[in-house]
Amino acid sequence: MKALTAVGYGPLADLTFSDVDKPVPGPGQVLVRTEAVALNPLDVKLVLGSVREVFPVTHPFVVGIDVSGTVEAVGPDTIGYAPGDAVTAMNLGVAGAVAEYTLAQTGPLLTHRPEGVDARSAAALPAAGLTALSLLHHCVPVAGRDVLISGATGGVGSFAVQLFAAAGARVLATGRPDDTETVLGWGAHHVIDYTGGKTAQLARELVPGGVDVVLALAEDGAALPGIAAAAIDEGLVLTCTEQPTALERGVTVERVDLTARDGDLSGLAARVSLGELRVPVTGVYPFSEARTAYEDLVGKHTVGKLVVEF
Ligand SMILES: NC(=O)c1ccc[n+]([C@@H]2O[C@H](COP(=O)([O-])OP(=O)(O)OC[C@H]3O[C@@H](n4cnc5c(N)ncnc54)[C@H](OP(=O)(O)O)[C@@H]3O)[C@@H](O)[C@H]2O)c1
């Protein structure tokens, strides 16, 4: 079968389409005929090798961790899935997704695709949606609290804006001026233009006392104190990217990683099918242009999710 592969750690330009063996589902696994794959920054980090100490990969390595498709076969002792089922999964550490066939493991990172949810939307949901949900779980209750989401136009941010607003938070979200209507449409109460590098200052103009919570989805470690200036004394800053160091004014800073509980992914998918949660897929590429899709993920301004379709 055809797959987009990396033969060693290196730049995205070195990704190549290769013929690799069709995977065989093991115990508790399903073989998925791929219909769509959503791109994530982690895919790129795995290719570059920048996270190799935490996530080492074996080469040749098939890229991609978010997939939707149709179950082709099931492995031994696989319960709850049968050939023909439409599914969506995050399959990090199980198999690469940007391939004609891939594997997924039964459990909280695999679910059926509800009626009315197309393959693109289903593929775009797992990693970004579950990370946004993990952030929400980390700071509930949020009703009535002011939450600044920096990086709101990205995959995680687009879901976080919606989930936090639906949970009753007053959401201040970053975006470029051209993205304002889109981000307001996701439920943000204010959109802050981050391009001038004054996000915290502009947030303070809107909420002079400071926001209760900052989701720092776009900041590296060096930029965390700057964005944390938007928070109230003894407020909370959450990051998904850095092991943070202590901040001033009693502001707590914590790293939150994707944690999926049973029912989280199926719950998100159900909310999509009910029209309660939008999946902003803003770029769709054919399989033959999958490498370009990755290059665009890092080289161009992205809003929401980019998807490769088979
Ligand atoms: N720890 C975990 O479990 C976990 C899970 C998921 C994601 N993550 C990490 O979380 C981060 C965000 O993920 P993602 O999937 O949302 O990434 P993404 O889709 O690439 O989105 C990043 C967004 O942030 C915007 N942005 C860049 N610089 C900004 C700034 N200074 N202020 C405000 N917004 C800015 C980007 O806009 P431009 O296009 O203009 O740059 C883009 O819209 C990544 O580093 C990812 O690796 C961690």
Encoded amino acid at 65, one letter:
I
The answer for 116, left when phi > 0, alpha when psi is -120 to 50, beta otherwise, is: left
Query: What amino acid occupies position 251?
Result: V
Any ligand 1 atom below 6 A from CB of 272: no
Identify the residue whose tokens are 């508790």: 28
CA-closest candidate to residue 1, choices 16, 14, 25, 17: 17
Q: Average model confidence (pLDDT) for the chain?
A: 97
Q: Of 33, 229, 252, 237, give the one whose Cα is nearest residue 135.
A: 237
Q: Which of 127, 175, 161 is nearest to 301 (CA)?
A: 175
Phi-psi sector, 49: left (phi>0), alpha (psi -120 to 50), beta? left
Q: What is the CATH number of domain 2-125+279-309?
A: 3.90.180.10
pTM comes to 0.98
- CA–centroid distance for 139 within its chain: 18
For domain 129-255, the CATH architecture is 3-Layer(aba) Sandwich (3.40)
C-beta 216 within 6 A of ligand 1: no
Q: State the Cα–Cα distance between residues 215 and 127, nearest whole angstrom.
A: 17
What is the pLDDT, as a whole number, of residue 229?
Answer: 97
Does the beta carbon of 127 lie inside 6 Å of ligand 1? yes
Tell which atom from ligand 1 comes closest to the C-alpha of 303: 43
In single-letter form, the type of residue at position 139 comes to C
Res. 221 pLDDT band, cuts 50 70 90:
confident
- pLDDT digit string, tens, across residues 152-174: 999 999 999 999 999 999 999 99
Radius of gyration for the alpha carbons in the chain, expressed in angstroms and rounded: 19
Q: Which residue's alpha carbon is nearest to atom 27 within ligand 1?
A: 218
pLDDT for residue 57 is more than 80 = yes
For the Cβ of 239 lying below 6 angstroms from any atom of ligand 1, the answer is no
Size (the chain), residues: 310
pLDDT at position 244, please? 80
* Domain boundaries defined on the chain: 2-125+279-309, 129-255
